[in-house]
Amino acid sequence: MEAKRERIFVFARTGIGDIVYTIPALRALRRRFPNAHITIEAGERGHSLLRYCPYVDEVWVRIRPRGLRGKLRSIWNLYKGKFDRAVILDRSDEKTLHTFLARIPERYGVRKKLFGRLLTASVEWDPNAHDMNDHFRRVVELVGCDTSDWRLELFPDPKAYQSLPEKLAQAGWRGERPLIGINPGASSPERLWLPERYAQVADVLQAEGMRVVLLGSAGEIGLAEAILRAMHSEPLVLTGKLTLDELIVAISGLDVLISGDTGPAHLAAAVGTPVVGLYGATSARRYGPVGERHIVIDKSAPQGMTAITADEVLRSVHKLLCTHYQRCE
């Protein structure tokens, strides 16, 4: 008689950056449980990063439950899944309660104030740790996973490698290097840097012979237009023109990405592109891109984003180009 295949459920967070740091956890789980059926639930923004991920069998897209009925439906879906283990990488304490009510026998996560006692095994939340990378790693270690291989990786749609070059050409790129990306958007206003300072940085870089490309989603077109109005030169503009898969491929082809605290900074970390990170509303230590190839300007205590100067960003870009690409003035 064939042995029952173990079923593991993973609760992921909602954002793109969250999923970047979830993938190493999924790889560790797959190596620990090579024959298990692994299901992951992720938010609407980040779930597409998992479409081609080889470490999961099934991806559920989280639709925010509306009221008690929606929450009961989520619990019922978990119950019907007949999962043996739940690995909770979501910051919501409510997810712990849902896995308990769904009668999932083993539940692992970060201990919260309300329902932490419902976890089978847990780790203490550490305010000094990287909120995603460190906590996710510690949670899967509870399940017996080997986390010595904790590299970041992404799995974009292979078609993006074919479609992106045409969009770059349409934007006016003719292969000039260095190619510097600017991703000016953020999930909240206090994380945004000033458009006129992005414009100043872009103008200086282009005057030095570099090429600058503006990135971002369709919702950030207005921000890109504000930067363009403040500029005296013409950058490449791909804001609102790329799919998420194309954005990953575009970032992988940059020499440096300038970005605030937002998903593309973590995408860059995953594909090995150096980041100049701009942090003023959140702590770079807790939310910055992981890796040694980045320069993070952290003005989170107590100055804020307006304390970051264009000169600081320019110096950081030059230092990265010098360090990693031997392009020193």
**Per residue in 23-54, pLDDT tens?**
999 999 999 999 999 999 998 888 999 999 99
Q: What is the number of structural domains in the chain?
A: 2
Q: Is the pTM of this model over 0.85?
A: yes
Ranking 89-103, 197-211, 239-253 by mean pLDDT, the lowest is 89-103
Convert 23-40 into a string of H (helix), E (strand) and C (coil): HHHHHHHHHHCCCCEEEE
Residue 1 pLDDT level (bands cut at 50, 70, 90): very low
pLDDT value for 89: 96
Average pLDDT over residues 89-116: 91
3-state secondary structure of 277: strand
75/188 same-domain check = no
Residue 181 and residue 81 in one domain = no
- The percent of residues above 90 in pLDDT, for the chain, comes to 86
10, 36 contact by CB (below 8 A)? no
* Per-residue pLDDT at 279: 97
The answer to the question of residue 60 being in a domain is yes
- Name the pLDDT band for 2 (thresholds 50, 70, 90): low
DSSP-derived 3-state class of residue 121 = strand
Distance CA 30, CA 13 (A): 19
Of the pLDDT bands very low, low, confident and very high (cuts 50, 70, 90), residue 56 is: very high
Residue 217 has pLDDT above 70, yes or no: yes
Helix (H) or strand (E) holding 105: none
Q: Is residue 102 part of a domain?
A: yes
Q: Are 117 and 93 in contact (CB under 8 A)?
A: no
pLDDT grade for 258, boundaries at 50, 70 and 90: very high
- Say yes or no to pLDDT of 312 above 70: yes
Same domain, 106 and 235: no
Domain that holds residue 197: 160-325
Same domain, 100 and 70: yes
Residue pair 273/284 in contact by the 8 Å Cβ criterion: no
* Spatial contact of 26 and 40, defined as CB atoms under 8 Å apart: yes
Which CATH number goes with the domain that contains 50?
Answer: 3.40.50.2000
pLDDT-derived band at 90 (thresholds 50, 70, 90) equals confident
